[in-house]
Amino acid sequence: MKGLPDTQSESDHREILIDRVGVRELRYPATYLGLEGEVLHTVAKFEMTVELHAHLKGTHMSRFVEALHDFSEPLGGASVMRLTKDLAAKLESERAYIGCEFTLFLDKVAPVSEMRSKLDYEIGMECRHSAGEGDAIFLSLQVPVATLCPCSKAISERGAHNQRGMVTISVEADESLTFTEMIDLAESSASCELYAGLKRVDEKAVTERAYDQPVFVEDLARNVAAGLKVHNAVKWFRVEVENFESIHNHNAYAMIEA
């Protein structure tokens, strides 16, 4: 092996720094912590990059996979940041970035029958390490919810139109902010939360709950934003809400960034 040329480490005459170089769409087994601290398994999709000095011809692609393979902690802001710093050290770079996406499943208990099922939430995580500018952790998730239109309820003699919606929360925060906190905030801000499994008695309960708690797409976005504004861990956030309208052939959308 000592006789093999190390082409990546050769000098490059163009002397142009590359901001980010590495691997994308790398799927790898991973774990995350459940509500009670149990270790749960998933498959995550990773993007891993570093800054490449202007004088170097290339990076060492195998070291990205090597770093991820040696990573054994459950996915979280603090743990992925440690991996990001390790990657920077392994590649001898001043800056490193790791992003990952995975599906988180949480147990849901139906409100009346107590039927148990699991609901899926799409999770995103970004960690940025810079030796000169500091570190930043960005979290994102998508929370499916149910909404009922206040206007429809106010003007209709019978019923009101309702629909599923998607709340997308993106935040810059420290590791004390958990995904379950953000999920709880989004679900409590909607007309009703969703469940994978419901009996008839549960369908009655969630339908009536939604009818008693109508929200416009604007209300839902503001409700979530209000909760994030007062959270000490949140440095920046963006809330996006999209309702998949049941009586229109288009979606309703609202966004708040602060």
- Look-up: residue for tokens 């692609």? 61
pTM assigned to the model: 0.88
* Residue 63 burial (C-beta neighbours within 10 Å; 0-12, 13-18, 19+): middle
In this structure, what token pair is assigned to residue 142? Answer: 């998508």
- Position 174 scores a pLDDT of 83
Q: Would you state the pLDDT for residue 35?
A: 73
From residue 107, alpha-carbon distances to 39, 114, 255 in Å are: 14, 11, 29
Give domain limits for the chain: 1-98, 133-258
> DSSP strand E in the chain: where?
18-33, 39-52, 95-109, 116-130, 134-148, 162-173, 192-193, 234-243, 252-257
Mean pLDDT, contiguous 10-residue spans, the chain (258 residues): 66 87 97 84 97 91 96 93 96 96 94 97 96 93 97 94 96 88 96 97 97 97 97 96 96 97
**Residue 2, pLDDT score:** 65
CATH class as words, domain 1-98: alpha beta
- pLDDT score at 5: 66
Residue 4 pLDDT: 66
- Report domain 133-258's class: alpha beta
Q: Token pair for residue 61?
A: 């692609």
What is the structure's pLDDT at 3?
A: 67
Are 55 and 11 in contact by the 8 Å Cβ rule? The answer is: yes
Per the document, the length of the chain is 258
Say whether 133-258 and 1-98 share the same fold.
yes
- pLDDT per position as a tens digit, 7-62: 666 777 788 999 999 999 999 999 998 777 889 899 999 999 999 999 889 899 99
